[in-house]
Amino acid sequence: MQNKHDPGTMPVKENEMRLIAIGDIHGQADMLYRLLNVVSPRPEDQFVFLGDYIDRGKDSCGVIEQLIQFKKEFPGTVFIRGNHDQLLLDALAELKVRHDLRTRDISREYANYSLVSDLDMFLNNGGNETLRSYHLRDMSEFPKKHMAFLEETELVWRYENFIFVHAGIEPDTPLEKQDPYTLLWERHAPPGKNGVIHVVGHQPTAGSPYFEAGRYYLDTGAVYGQTLTACNVLTQEVWQVS
């Protein structure tokens, strides 16, 4: 994907809230640390992380630890759940490490899509790298604090005309009735309309965010050697590290 336009930046007044979304991190703890230093969070900012904190990268454990600390410093931060985060939660539920419904239990679409066990789905999509970062002998040893963090993430969050979600939104369906498969996995959902903007990750771009009418794509391929991106969606101001 290429940008349709270069929005440049609009000046932000001192003490004015920034609504900053951060794309898929995928275990890139060092990149996350450097990006937050570049952004320089302020008390009046509202941060939204778009999910996929784990898998494929080398330090998923370090990412979750950073995010837990960030939440302590900025308790209003919103953490969206990504499909990779859900894969881990589903695998832990399948193994009876946690007790909750799995995606296949509440989404017929996902049940039709996932034809192997939840553990295999997790491991086959980068989960082995996640487990190595935790130095686990058994998944029953997964840290409860980190599991609780992932359990508390949200599938979708709205702020005025912006809807933050990992993957997509089914049109003409209330947010509370969306299929989890669509929110977590769907790459072909239409953009927002009538002034509504979907802010999403999940679909990697070629290193730069992609802005289109009704949707902003902020997964810029950090785990594939590209960049990790933060964007003030109110102004389209962008910060990146590589």
pLDDT score, position 14: 65
Say if 125 falls within a structural domain.
yes
Q: How far apart are CA 126 and CA 28, in angstroms?
A: 13
If one compares 137 and 119, the residue with the highest pLDDT of the two is 119
Work out the pLDDT band at 3, boundaries 50, 70, 90: very low
Residues 51-91 pLDDT 10s: 999 999 999 999 999 999 999 999 999 999 999 999 999 99
Residue 43 burial (CB count, 10 A): 9
The residue range of the domain holding 160 is 19-241
Residues 108-130 pLDDT 10s: 999 988 889 999 999 999 999 99
Say if 7 falls within a structural domain.
no
Q: What predicted TM-score, i.e. pTM, was given to this entire model? A: 0.93
Nearest to 121 by CA among 154, 168, 84: 84
**Number of domains composing the chain:** 1
Q: Which CATH number covers residue 203?
A: 3.60.21.10
pLDDT score, position 102: 97
DSSP β-bridge partners for residue 212: 215
Say if 6 falls within a structural domain.
no
DSSP β-bridge partners for residue 79: 49
Nearest to 23 by CA among 240, 193, 196: 240
Residues 149-192 pLDDT 10s: 999 999 999 999 999 999 999 999 999 999 999 999 999 999 99
Q: How far apart are CA 12 and CA 55, in angstroms?
A: 35
pLDDT surpassing 70 at residue 104: yes
Say if 190 falls within a structural domain.
yes
Q: How far apart are CA 100 and CA 85, in angstroms?
A: 14
Say if 236 falls within a structural domain.
yes
At CB < 8 A and 24+ separation, what contacts does 95-98 make? 95/119, 95/139, 95/140, 97/139, 97/140, 97/142, 97/147, 98/147, 98/151
Residues 22-48 pLDDT 10s: 999 999 999 999 999 999 999 999 999
Say if 13 falls within a structural domain.
no
Say if 232 falls within a structural domain.
yes
pLDDT score, position 137: 83
Say if 8 falls within a structural domain.
no
